[in-house]
Structure formats: structure tokens, C-alpha cells
Amino acid sequence: PFATINHAISVAAAGDTIYVDAGTFDEGTTLIPISKSLTFLGPNYLISPNGGSRVAEAIIQGNATLGLFGVNLASVTFIVKGFTFQTLQAEMRNDAKGATVTLEKNIFTGTRHDGMWFDDTYLTVQDNLFTDYATDASETIAMAVTSAPRLGTISITNNTWQNITGNGALNLTDVGGTISNNQFNGVEYYGMLIATDGLPIAPNITVSNNVFNNITNPTVGPTGNELTWGAGVRFYEATS
């Protein structure tokens, strides 16, 4: 066994599965690079956070400026299941177009500066709980296609967002895929922002069977106020 997640990842071989026991793991201010394919399983990797009877959690903390985990190779497949994240910065970011990331059966909670960022990723977000989550810089999950051609897709299904403050839940720019069967309860600004900035890649996105309750606009007064804040789904197209 290893005392830190960073150490376990550093010695693991590509394709390995890392099992993490219950406990609190504070990874400090170090961004953990993910440069090989790994499966990362907490004690609740088979138990839903949305109604399941969870066992003791593996709680991951950290305060790395760019995020706790940093995917940096397009060939990487990184699977994360069954944890609780209580980081002070983003839990994860991917700057490698075309990488594959799966987040499943995790709990994301607490106050942090920034949410997760993904550049044109094959991203699966399934059966997670985002609860009592506050961020002052970005949404819980933001993904964009930063350059053509578009490589990745999203599948965001069966998740719950509740009591989300500071920003909205999802921010997706020029992204294709599916968003279905999610619950958005008590979210500021919007449940999801679907945007295009004019890249000639014609993404198709399907949004179906989602539930939006108490989506609010916290901005008071005309300065900085957008009429579409407070929407379950907000659409935005860049004009220049």
C-alpha cells in the first residue's frame, strides 16, 4: 500500500487499476500528472451516490492551482469511480485533445476556486452527485473544442446537481453528444450552457429527460445581468 495517491499513480504501470481504501487523502498543492491509462477505484465504485447505501468514503483533498489530476496525453484513458472530492481547486483538467475520461459514482462537494476543465475529450460523466458545491471561477464541468477538427464527445447521464452556487453546472462549447436523465436542483445561473464560438465543426448534441428545479439568477440590478441567467438550458452563440 501507498500513503498518497500521487505515489501510487507514479509507480503504477499503464493499464493498472489502483484501489483506494476509505480515509482522507490530502494531496497538497501538487498537480498529479496523468500520462498513462489508469483505472482509479474508491471503496464506493459499485455504489451510487444518488440513493445507494455508501460505505466509508475515500475523501480526496488538494489545493493544486491547475487542478488535482492533470491529463496530458491524448492516448490516455483515465477512469475514476467511487470517491468523494473536497478539493480547493479543480478536481481535474484535461488539456490533451482526444483523451478519454470517465467519472462515475463520485461525490463532488465543498468550496473551490475552479471547476473541472476538459479540452475536446471523450468524456463520460455517469451517476455522480455534485452537492453543496461552490466555485467562483467556472462551472462544475466545462468542456470546449478549442480547435478543429472536433475529436471528443460527451455522455452526461444520471447525475444529480444540488445546491450549486457561484456558477452554473455545465458549460459546453462546440461539444457533441448526449445529456440525459440528470437532476438539477438549486443551481445558480443555469443548469447547462450550450454554446458555439463559430468553429466549422457542426456538433450535434441531444438533451433529453433532464429535470430542472429552482434554477436562479443571483445577479441583482442591470449591471452584468443576463436575461437568460436562471434558465435550465441556456444557448449562446458568439457573434464575433
User: Which residues, given as ranges, of the chain have pLDDT below 50?
Assistant: none
Give pLDDT, residue 149: 82
pTM over 0.75: yes
Give pLDDT, residue 229: 78
Give pLDDT, residue 235: 86
Contacts of 164 (CB under 8 A, 6+ apart): 130, 133, 134, 140, 186, 187, 188
Contact 44, 22 (CB under 8 A): no
The closest alpha carbon to 88, from 133, 129, 142, belongs to 133
The total number of residues written for the chain in this structure: 240
**C-alpha grid cell, residue 64:** 493544486
- Other CB atoms within 10 A of residue 40 CB: 25
Give pLDDT, residue 23: 95
Give pLDDT, residue 148: 78
